[in-house]
Chain A
Amino acid sequence: MNAVVTANGLSKRYKNTLALDNVSFQIPAGRIVGLIGPNGAGKTTALKAILGLTDFQGQLNVLGLDPRTQRDKLMEEVCFIADVAVLPRWIRVHEAIDFVANIHPRFNRAKCEAFLARTKLTSNQRVRQMSKGMIVQLHLALVMAIDAKLLVLDEPTLGLDILYRKQFYQNLLEDYFDENKTIIVTTHQVEEIEHILTDLMFIRDGRIVLNTDMEAMGERFAEVMVSADMAATARQLKPLDERQVFGKSIFLFDGVDQAQLKTLGEIRRPSVSDLFVATMKGTYA
């Protein structure tokens, strides 16, 4: 298993806050990793470190390169959409395509144009005349036409309406992703990307608090709907979280034997957002 990203003891301190606190993780090739955490948890800092946009302590290896010293070479293999709507406002669609086509050795112009043909964008249009959703469409068209090994998306759909958001991830899955590519994505709209993720990473206060693939997550965590009379028994198994729905209690368990849980009630795989909320309890308190 060849790792695309290997981080070892990664730390980053801004003036008086520790954005990353001795973080270590590995991301293998061909995965879609969701990096999820509350505001200010260190997600963007981690991504910036991977992209060579910021200095840090510790070791970080991306595609065999050090992002601090070999950034120019790294960017031929790595692509990112850092935020919504960061395309320069003066640029026209055809200028953006011409520029990337001539700068990037792995850009496929035909693919980009085919993708844009499915949108309302016209070749002479300037970014400043586009809606936020259209800007993201253009950016995605440029990025998807680049045959990169690693794609980093930092809140790519923030502020877009649901049609654009759905379409964004659908395009990414259908027309871009394959086993040679790796995608790291951060977002607050966890529900929308839940079904496309293969791996999950929770980050809190600069530390990775959960790092699992989706299958293992289904085995490790379980949500059980328990009727009132069994609730006391369930509580003895030390659930992560408990909430009430229609007079029944829903418990979230971490690492409790599933056979044992079955005696309590109906077992479900917890949603990522429920798991996230349970894990991050007390973050802002």
Chain B
Amino acid sequence: MNAKTLYWLIRREFWEHRGGFIWAPVITGIVFLVLNLMGIIGGEVFGSRNGFHFGPLEGQDLAAKIHSLDGHQLQEVGSALDLAMLSSSGLISVVFAFVVFFYCLGALYDDRRDRSILFWKSLPISDSATVLSKVIAAVLIAPIAVVICGVLTGIVMLLMFAIALSFHGVGVWSLLVLAHPFQVVGFLIASIPLYLLWALPTVGWLMLCSSWARAKPFLWAVVIPVALGVMISWFNLLGSAGFKSSWYWREIVARVLFSVFPGGWLRDSNFNHLGDNPESFNHFLSLSASYAVLAKPDVWIGAAAGIAMLAGAVWFRRWRDDS
């Protein structure tokens, strides 16, 4: 396996999945912007019908009000803007997570079903390189595309609001300076390695099912962990408390099926009131909270299990003989 082969294998994934990896985030971003634009226009129309106005017409000048804000309030405004920027990435990454989920399920199955695996296998490519390229495409390169889309969408959204407000004579450009776009971008990019580690158990499990199932990998991937969970819950109900079903649902089922959703590692952290408190938001953006999960063994155990399942996927890729 060399770097050039790996590069072309990853490019191949993007040729095949251009729709999911590139167009899905772009279209989600556009939809997000259109919804915002509709909101702005709706607000304008509603406002003018009801004689409700922003800006200089409204007794107190909003611009003057901004000048009167103290340091703490300015910080709050900045954090709100950062959060607004992040929200666009949030929506895109939910869509992206679905894309990655189904990508992983099909990655080692679709070409067995349409038999094009026989073409790929006629080339000097090792099965481990094939699987590795698919993992890298899903949890490293595709998230970068998502971050780029998310940031661009966020910036365009802020500009839209700025322009809308400037029609009312409110100079919000000075407010925009309060936002920390670079910090937001840095936060998103720095979250990618964490995402990779966090998503490994799900990616590993889905690809294992994808390489192993003779039919319907989705069904197997979902039915096996859920059926086990139902069994365990049932035993719990019967009163044998040797094994807690709640632990199983949370640490096994959620980890093998839903860890492709970004930010799952924050489930233990307390970030419920981000918008209220700029300090807590800055703490959030500083990544120390995110990276704190690396201190706990859960992430590492999950990643190791994910890698073990990927090794299984490589083995099935090599020896599954059904096309």
Contacts and interface: CB of A to CB of B under 8 A. Distances in A.
Q: Do A and B come from one complex?
A: yes
Interface of A: 48, 51, 53-55, 71-73, 75-76, 79-83, 86-92, 95, 98-100, 102-105, 139, 143
B268 interface: no
B119 interface: yes
Contacts of B247: none
A132 B186 CA distance: 50
A87 B124 CA distance: 16
Given A75-B122, A103-B5, A103-B8, A54 B16 contact: no
Given A55-B319, A55-B321, A86 B118 contact: yes
B261 to A, nearest CB: 27
27 contacts: A53-B121, A55-B319, A71-B318, A72-B124, A72-B126, A73-B124, A75-B122, A75-B124, A80-B118, A82-B115, A83-B118, A86-B114, A86-B116, A86-B118, A87-B116, A87-B119, A88-B16, A88-B114, A88-B120, A90-B15, A90-B16, A92-B15, A98-B8, A103-B5, A103-B8, A103-B123, A103-B125
Contacts of A102: 4-5, 8
A79 B122 contact: yes
A139 B120 CA distance: 12
A71 B16 CA distance: 25
B22 to A, nearest CB: 14
Nearest to B121: A53
A234 B77 CA distance: 107
Nearest to A101: B8
A79 B121 CA distance: 10
Contact of B114 (A72, A81, A89): A89
Given A55-B319, A82-B118, A104 B123 contact: yes
Nearest to A107: B123
Contacts of A139: 119
A86 B120 CA distance: 10
A81 B313 CA distance: 25
A98 B4 CA distance: 12
Interface of B: 4-5, 8-9, 11-12, 15-16, 111, 114-116, 118-126, 318-319, 321
Which 4 pairs from chain A and chain B are nearest by CB? Answer: A82-B118, A88-B116, A75-B124, A76-B124
A15 to B, nearest CB: 12
B111 A88 contact: yes
Contacts of B11: 99
Given A71-B318, A82-B122, A87-B119, 20 more contacts: A53-B121, A55-B319, A72-B124, A75-B121, A79-B122, A80-B118, A81-B122, A83-B118, A86-B116, A88-B111, A88-B114, A88-B116, A89-B114, A95-B15, A99-B8, A99-B11, A103-B123, A103-B124, A103-B125, A139-B119
Contacts of B121: 51, 53, 75
Contacts of A81: 122
Contacts of B123: 75, 100, 103-104
A79, A81, A88, A100: residue with the most chain B Cβ atoms closer than 10 Å:
A88
A76, A79, A99: residue with the most chain B Cβ atoms closer than 10 Å:
A99
A104 B321 contact: no
Contact of B321 (A48, A89, A91): A48
A72 B125 contact: yes
B321 A54 contact: yes
A30 B145 CA distance: 50
Contacts of A76: 124
Contacts of B118: 53, 80, 82-83, 86
Nearest to B128: A72
A279 B290 CA distance: 73
